Amino acid sequence: MRPRLWIAIDGPAGSGKSTVARMLARRLGLLHVDTGAMYRALTLKALREGVDLQDEEALVELARRTHITLTPACSGGGVRVFLEGEDVTEAVRSPEVSRSVSLVARVPGVRELMVRWQREMAAQWGGVVMEGRDVGTVILPDAQLKVFLTASPEERARRRQQDLLAQGYRVDLERLVQEISERDRLDRSRPVAPLVPAPDAWVIDSSGLTAEEVVEMITARVLGG
């Protein structure tokens, strides 16, 4: 078997996972796998097809006939997400998808399929920085390094507001704090793969830190063995 380095980055929405995972992957020459983008792509498809998001069976059936792929982007950009061959990288970040994705991600049958695809990706790609909610606990329990990134809800809402603004969406901060707290509550309390740090995860509170500082800390640990 070829040597591989698996790094798991888990944490709640707006904790800085995506930025840190992207930068870290580039820094260490690994591939970046954004598992949240896969749940978002399936949610986008469900919304487009008008699937009832409360209907678990319909969501599993939808997942079974859905083809989602991630490709590492060239020229320094992030990973791109494809839904049946269509590039939906920007579309999966819409507020509508963000509001609905927890309903899709809580379905056990959907998660089973996603975890299978995510493990296949890690095995095929070799060295990966995989980010999500359950990477260290469920997808890659034997990852060499597990990081659980967190930050206060207010800080996370501010970051999300900036991201959305950059994409042309103007969203009220108060509303974002509420949405983030509600999404956390759903993600933490779901019976399957709840959002909790793995027992052997390194918990980093990024509230007072820049993404560069977090990447520096993680790189030092990886290179230092």
Binding-site member from 19, 89, 94, 102 for ligand DC (CB under 6 A): 102
Near ligand DC by CB under 6 A, which window of 35-43, 45-53, 57-65, 151-159? Answer: 35-43
Largest CA distance in the chain: 50
The yes or no reply on residue 146 touching ligand DC (CB under 6 A) is: no
| Exposure on the CB side of residue 11, measured as CA atoms within 13 A | 29
In angstroms, what is the minimal distance from the CB of 211 to ligand DC? Answer: 15
In angstroms, what is the minimal distance from the CB of 215 to ligand DC? Answer: 18
Binding-site member from 30, 180, 187, 211 for ligand DC (CB under 6 A): 187
Query: Other CB atoms closer than 10 Å to residue 138's CB: what's the count?
Result: 19
Nearby residues of 14 by Cβ (< 8 Å), 6 or more positions away: 151, 155, 156, 157, 159, 160, 180
The yes or no reply on residue 150 touching ligand DC (CB under 6 A) is: no
**Nearest Cα to 42, choosing from 61, 18, 68?**
68
Q: Which residues bind ligand DC (CB under 6 A)?
A: 13, 35-36, 39-40, 101-102, 105, 132-134, 183, 187
